[in-house]
Amino acid sequence: MGFLKTIRKPFRYSFNSVSFYIIGVNILIYLLTSINPNLYNYLSLNVINVVRNSMYWQFLTYMFVHGGLSHLVFNMLGLLFFGLTLERAIGSKEFLLLYLVSGFLCGVFSFAVYYFSGNYGVFLLGASGAIYAVLLAYAVVFPRSQIFIWGILPIPAPILIGIYAGIEIFNQFLSVRSGVAHMTHLAGFACAWLYIRIRMGISPWKVWKDAFR
């Protein structure tokens, strides 16, 4: 009980638009890697770089690196649309901790998959794991929120999370597009679930069950 009380100690609420700062850092890193592609080797997560070269910072920096403009724009739009609203609801400090912890744990998970599967030449990059964590947290904080697909089809946020999870599971295990990236996305959901359950003491299942009564 003492341990849970310690890790659940809330931050004093403040809203400082941290989402915009995160977007800014991602854009800056994208510009720097476009100018100097060698930075990908130092910032993306790679088994050999971590094990042999002790580049442990890559567990955090990988989530700020993107492989192309569309990759960057898609992730940053998700952060803008969902992250900013979530940050305003739970506070900037809580949001930043959720984002960084989820992204870090997604990196650790992916590293373990690469390591034990022998995929030492793969470089993990992108904010997708952290963004998926934000999406799940958004669906917990705003369980009755309606997300409009293509601007016309309203879907409750928790249902959308289930659809995304199903797509990732299908792509991982049943599609020719299988790969660890899909597992990283699912890890983002799992990390957010654990964060909300342990840090905030909230059961996502209970929240969603109550929302659909």
Q: Which residues are catalytic?
A: 128, 185
- What is the DSSP-derived secondary structure letter of residue 147? E
Instruction: Please state, as a whole number, how many other Cβ atoms lie within 10 Å of the Cβ of residue 74.
Output: 15
CA distances from 139 to 47, 131, 181, 182, 204 (A): 33, 12, 22, 20, 9
Q: Which two tokens stand for residue 134?
A: 């934000």
CA 60 to chain centre: 12
Please name the residues in contact with 67: beta carbons below 8 A apart, sequence gap of 6 or more: 125, 126
User: Is residue 45 helix, strand or coil?
Assistant: strand
- Determine contact, residues 80/161, Cβ cutoff 8 Å: no
